[in-house]
Chains A and B, each alone.
Chain A
Amino acid sequence: MTDAVVDPVSIPVPRSARPDRLLRRLWRHRSSRLGLILLGLILALVVLGPWLTGGSPSSDMAYQNLAASLQPPSAAHWLGTDQLGRDELVRLVLGARYTIIIGLGAVATGVLVGLPLGALSGFYRGWVDLVVQRLVDVVLAFPSFLLALALVAVLGPGLRNLIIGVALTSFPRFVRLIRAQVLSVRERPFVEAALALGVSRGRILWRHVLPNSMTPVIVQTPLELGSAVLTAAGLGFLGLGVRQPTPEWGTMLGESRDFIFSNPALVTYPGLCIVLVILAVNLLGDGARDVLDPRLRSRIKIPRRRRT
């Protein structure tokens, strides 16, 4: 109604999603800082991996050497060797590449496909909305892992197909997220103000609606990265991952399961790596939510609506 008097002790604190400030604010948040550090280390492995391990995946250390299979940790092989005599540490470091690339690729594809679909669907409504939403319903009707599995089985294994398969499971969530956001932002008064000025619809979507709809996407993206990594690892575990002998954590996990009792370390290492990635992105996601969502932020509040 009219005379709305602002809550006397709530001062709206502006927040911005501009990347530089966002990073700084994430860094100040305890849990997201830990997530950033972990993720930074993992990304460093991705970039520096081949250099750290002294060359390409086909270098001596990584190459199979059946005579030296399943060795315990030693000075030469810090984490020991696997069933084919390959250095476990080298394979883990190199494997980070593939796991992360699949995860990032899938999330990026999911955002690139989901964002425009969701935005158009929520902004223009009508038949666009109808078509997009039915498409999303169809995809979501299948258990997502099964869908990725089926797709990769049909397309065949390989990095690109893995990315497509995993992206297929994540893009509908982005569509729904951004659509819901756009639906609410398009009703905000500044959109009406732009309409009154004669601003075109496309420009309203681009300048007014999208920038104000991004917050949940930013929160969701790291979490989606976690689930993409998990899906990719699952596919690898089932033998639908990248081709041998390319090291990838899920595939490594799958290959070493025969030795789970005799040599449990071999399952533990890749498993631990996957857990670390998931942990990192979840910490980051939680931090991003705290930083960006004013309602959940711990600031001054006052209990106004309690019954007496």
Chain B
Amino acid sequence: MTEPVLEIRDLRTYFHTIRGVYRAVDGVDLTVRAGRTLCVVGESGSGKSATALSVMGLIEAPGEIQPGSRIRFDGQELVGLSDREHRRIRGRDLSMIFQEPMTSLDPVYPVGHQIVEAIRAHQPVSRKAALNRAVELMALVGIPSPERRLWDYPHHLSGGMRQRVMISIALSSHPKLLVADEPTTALDVTIQAQILELMRDLQKKMGMAIMMITHDLGVVAEMADDVAVMYAGQIVESGIAEEVLTNPRHPYTEALLHAVPVLGMSRDEPLRVIPGVVPSPLEWPAGCRFAARCRYAHERCAEPPPTATVGRHQTRCWLPVDRSIGTGSATRTAAAGEVNR
């Protein structure tokens, strides 16, 4: 196991709104290790994107990282850094790519210009050298005939090509960590396959760690070395991807895995339904936040569950602690699921 590049401890990112305090991220612990890919998976509203933005120092008012939160990147504490200090780290050792590359690229400049700018923002090189480097980078991310593409504007490029440009910008400084927020969600499956393969390939070549935010368990299976499942502002389960995906210990992870159809599944088996909806970040439930939707829920779940650890596999649930709870109640809640169908 390699050493950690990013260690997040008890991260709390709150947004102060007219309707109350929106606790988007509420006590997250995460570790990204050098050269590995951590996928943070969750549904909308789980706080996964706010976690990524907190790492990047891109939380702005009315959002605020709460005191006591720690984000340790490459030996340096990021919480409490000034905008200037954060900017120096961002784009050099820490880069990010977004879901929609069109809005992240400036429509009035050619893409080559934007790559050159990114290079020169952090490296003292001449324009000419930067231009050569831009061509290299574009070739690296698989943009055909990069010399010609340099002077294309973002709207000339397809979604997949734009995401490649964004990746080349993100990688221009050889970052230690690449944060990718749903990088393929806006793309078609065949293009998604290209981009995912490119990211794996580049990781092999350049050795950076990747923290990838996604809602798609298929993407997790494809990309992740490690996985963290987020629900209602917290990590409910984390561990080595293969282990978590094949042997989930948290009822939410388990339900999520059975809620999506997989190829070849018979029509006669109905999909697992997770009843109800995600609770509101304005008022998280007091105990286990998943309890109201959980088929194994039990009186004990009214208290905040402890984190059970087996090797590197961590679960925030009463169930693995006390296996006897789960049995017997399954039938009752299965009937409840029936009603909700």
A and B touch in the complex (CB under 8 A): yes
Interface residues of A (CB under 8 A from B): 1, 3-9, 11, 298-308
Q: Is the CB of A308 within 8 A of B90?
A: yes
In the complex, how many angstroms separate the beta carbon of B254 from the nearest chain A beta carbon? Answer: 22
Closest 7 CB pairs of A and B: A6-B44, A305-B103, A300-B15, A300-B17, A8-B49, A308-B96, A308-B90
- Chain A residues contacting B91 (CB-CB under 8 Å) are 308
Known pairs A8-B50, A300-B22, A302-B53; A3 contacts B44 (CB<8 A): no
How many inter-chain contacts with C-beta < 8 Å in the A-B complex?
A: 80
Q: Is the CB of A303 within 8 A of B58?
A: yes
9 new A-B contacts at CB < 8 Å, known A8-B44, A298-B18, A304-B98: A4-B185, A6-B45, A7-B44, A9-B22, A9-B24, A11-B22, A302-B50, A302-B59, A307-B105
Closest to B282 in A: A11
- Chain B residues contacting A303 (CB-CB under 8 Å) are 53, 58-60
Q: Which residues 51-71 of B sit at the A interface, judged by CB distance below 8 A?
A: 53, 56, 58-60, 62-63
Give the interface centre of A7, A302, A307, A308 by most chain B CB atoms within 10 Å: A308
- Chain B residues contacting A305 (CB-CB under 8 Å) are 98, 100, 103-104
In the complex, how many angstroms separate the beta carbon of A234 from the nearest chain B beta carbon? Answer: 41
State in angstroms the CA–CA spacing of A305 and B105 once bound together: 9
- Chain A residues contacting B98 (CB-CB under 8 Å) are 304-305
A302 contact from B60, B90, B95, B106, Cβ within 8 A? B60
State in angstroms the CA–CA spacing of A303 and B15 once bound together: 12
State in angstroms the CA–CA spacing of A34 and B65 once bound together: 36
Q: Is the CB of A306 within 8 A of B22?
A: no
Is B135 engaged at the interface, CB distance under 8 Å to the other chain? no
Q: Is the CB of B104 within 8 A of A307?
A: yes
Chain B 164-194 interface mask (CB, 8 Å, partner A; 1/0): 0000011000000000001001110000000
State in angstroms the CA–CA spacing of A307 and B58 once bound together: 10
Q: Is the CB of A3 within 8 A of B215?
A: yes
Interface residues of B (CB under 8 A from A): 15-18, 22, 24, 44-50, 53, 56, 58-60, 62-63, 90-91, 94-96, 98-100, 103-106, 118, 159, 169-170, 182, 185-187, 215-216, 281
Q: Is the CB of B60 within 8 A of A5?
A: no
State in angstroms the CA–CA spacing of A3 and B185 once bound together: 6
State in angstroms the CA–CA spacing of A230 and B281 once bound together: 49
- Chain A residues contacting B182 (CB-CB under 8 Å) are 5
In the complex, how many angstroms separate the beta carbon of A52 from the nearest chain B beta carbon? Answer: 41
State in angstroms the CA–CA spacing of A298 and B47 once bound together: 21
Give the interface centre of A5, A300, A306 by most chain B CB atoms within 10 Å: A5
State in angstroms the CA–CA spacing of A149 and B182 once bound together: 60
Known pairs A299-B17, A305-B98, A305-B103; A5 contacts B63 (CB<8 A): no
- Chain A residues contacting B50 (CB-CB under 8 Å) are 8-9, 302
- Chain A residues contacting B94 (CB-CB under 8 Å) are 308
Q: Is the CB of B63 within 8 A of A300?
A: yes
Closest to B102 in A: A305
State in angstroms the CA–CA spacing of A300 and B61 once bound together: 8
- Chain A residues contacting B215 (CB-CB under 8 Å) are 3, 5
Closest to B59 in A: A302
State in angstroms the CA–CA spacing of A123 and B341 once bound together: 40
- Chain A residues contacting B45 (CB-CB under 8 Å) are 6, 8
Q: Is the CB of B58 within 8 A of A299?
A: no
Closest to A13 in B: B19
State in angstroms the CA–CA spacing of A308 and B118 once bound together: 8
B18 contact from A7, A299, A306, A308, Cβ within 8 A? A299
In the complex, 8 of the A-B residue pairs with CB atoms within 8 angstroms, ordered by the A residue number, are A5-B99, A7-B49, A8-B46, A9-B15, A11-B22, A300-B22, A302-B49, A302-B59
Q: Is the CB of B99 within 8 A of A302?
A: no
- Chain B residues contacting A1 (CB-CB under 8 Å) are 159, 185-187
In the complex, how many angstroms separate the beta carbon of A192 from the nearest chain B beta carbon? Answer: 23
State in angstroms the CA–CA spacing of A299 and B18 once bound together: 7
Q: Is the CB of A8 within 8 A of B62?
A: no
In the complex, how many angstroms separate the beta carbon of A292 from the nearest chain B beta carbon? Answer: 16
Closest to B94 in A: A308
State in angstroms the CA–CA spacing of A299 and B90 once bound together: 27
- Chain A residues contacting B24 (CB-CB under 8 Å) are 8-9
- Chain B residues contacting A4 (CB-CB under 8 Å) are 185-186
- Chain B residues contacting A307 (CB-CB under 8 Å) are 104-106, 118, 169
Closest to B97 in A: A308
State in angstroms the CA–CA spacing of A223 and B47 once bound together: 41
- Chain A residues contacting B281 (CB-CB under 8 Å) are 9
State in angstroms the CA–CA spacing of A37 and B236 once bound together: 53
State in angstroms the CA–CA spacing of A303 and B181 once bound together: 13
